[in-house]
Amino acid sequence: MQTETLIKMANQIGDFFEAEPDEAQANLEIANHLNRFWTVDMRKQIATYVIEESGAGLHKQVVSAISSHLKV
């Protein structure tokens, strides 16, 4: 899948959970969503992007969630 598409999808998830007042809980929920609904390949691709590109263009909570909770 195109990395740009994954970024767009991840940012939509981040936007949804932005309303969560507890940032740690939001990060956990974002990661849970990615772990449940994204394939292993999609998760590996976005995790690699975060490592190689410092998550440029990604919602800050998404970067945090991927860095701390994503299962690849």
Mean pLDDT by 10 residues, the chain (72 residues): 97 96 96 97 97 96 94 84
Output the pLDDT for position 71: 87
Per-residue burial over 37-68, b if 16 or more Cβ lie within 10 Å, else e, is ebeeebbebbbebbeeeebeebbebbbbbbee
pTM equals: 0.91
Cβ-based neighbours of 50, under 8 Å, separated by 6 or more: 58, 63, 66, 67
Output the pLDDT for position 70: 86
Angle at 55 between CA 23 and CA 63, to 5 degrees: 20
What is the residue extent of each domain of the chain?
A: 3-69
